[in-house]
Amino acid sequence: MIQLVMFPYAGSIVNPYKEWLELNDEQFEIIQIEYDGRGRRSFADRPLTWRALIDKTLKQVLDCVDFTREYILFGHSMGARVVADIYKKLIARAIKQPKCLIFSGTEIFRSKSYESILSAPVKKFNQFFFQLGGIPKEVFQEVELLELVTDYLREDLVLLNQFKFNWTKQEIGCSVLILNGTQEASSELDQWIELIGENCQQLFFQGDHFFIRNNVQEILFAIKRKLDEIK
């Protein structure tokens, strides 16, 4: 059974991959990572910098993953950037390579400023993420829950402002899968190849930025097919 290690997107609180955790698939063991200060790790202090986020999350990965077995790192949106940096940390420690890196719901990695969103009025800020599909309608009806979600979103955008991608192509020694929704902004495959090398494949699934919620079985099938190709 291969370990599918899943990293949360921005603003996630509890069980961002609940649809995945409910699966009973004999090929995958789902390991859901949660950032400090969230969900099951609400007891821990929230990281104030991107570096602290990566360092704290790495400790959790080292505790949760059995590196004598095969594993995959899967990150959606913000989680894709976390995966990129966690992978780099693991390789620096000479830890066994994952079978595959999965970058989901993201354009190519580049420095990006979120200041215009962070400085937007509350209503416009919330509407931006509602349109992405990240804030369910029912959350808007619960004032306290909405405030909590937007608080986490703002914290995560501040952290994302500090993300820097400075790899060379030679630094990725495993296969890469890039997943995008048909209705979200995405980068062309040739841009990814230019950034991280030839050993990557891009797949599209029906839906908006949060296509991962409604295409679980289809995505798992695609991952299995990729694993068969790697063998």
Tell me whether residue 182 is in a domain. Answer: yes
Tell me whether residue 128 is in a domain. Answer: no
Q: Which helix (H) or strand (E) holds 79?
A: helix 78-92
Total domains in the fold of the chain: 1
Which of 109, 149, 110, 144 has the alpha carbon at shortest distance from 129?
A: 149
Which of 80, 73, 71, 11 has the alpha carbon at shortest distance from 46?
A: 11
pLDDT at 139: 60
pLDDT at 14: 67
pLDDT at 141: 62
pLDDT at 140: 58
Tell me whether residue 197 is in a domain. Answer: yes
Tell me whether residue 187 is in a domain. Answer: yes
Tell me whether residue 135 is in a domain. Answer: no
pLDDT at 10: 85
pLDDT at 134: 59
pLDDT at 109: 86
Tell me the residue range of the domain where 80 lies. 2-110+169-230
Flag residues of the chain having pLDDT under 70: 14, 111, 113, 129-145, 168-170
| Number of helical H runs and strand E runs in the chain | 9, 6
CATH number of the CATH domain containing 18:
3.40.50.1820
pLDDT at 63: 95
Tell me whether residue 161 is in a domain. Answer: no
Structure pTM?
Answer: 0.90
Tell me whether residue 127 is in a domain. Answer: no
- The answer for residues whose C-beta is within 8 angstroms of residue 228's C-beta and 6 or more apart is none
Tell me whether residue 14 is in a domain. Answer: yes
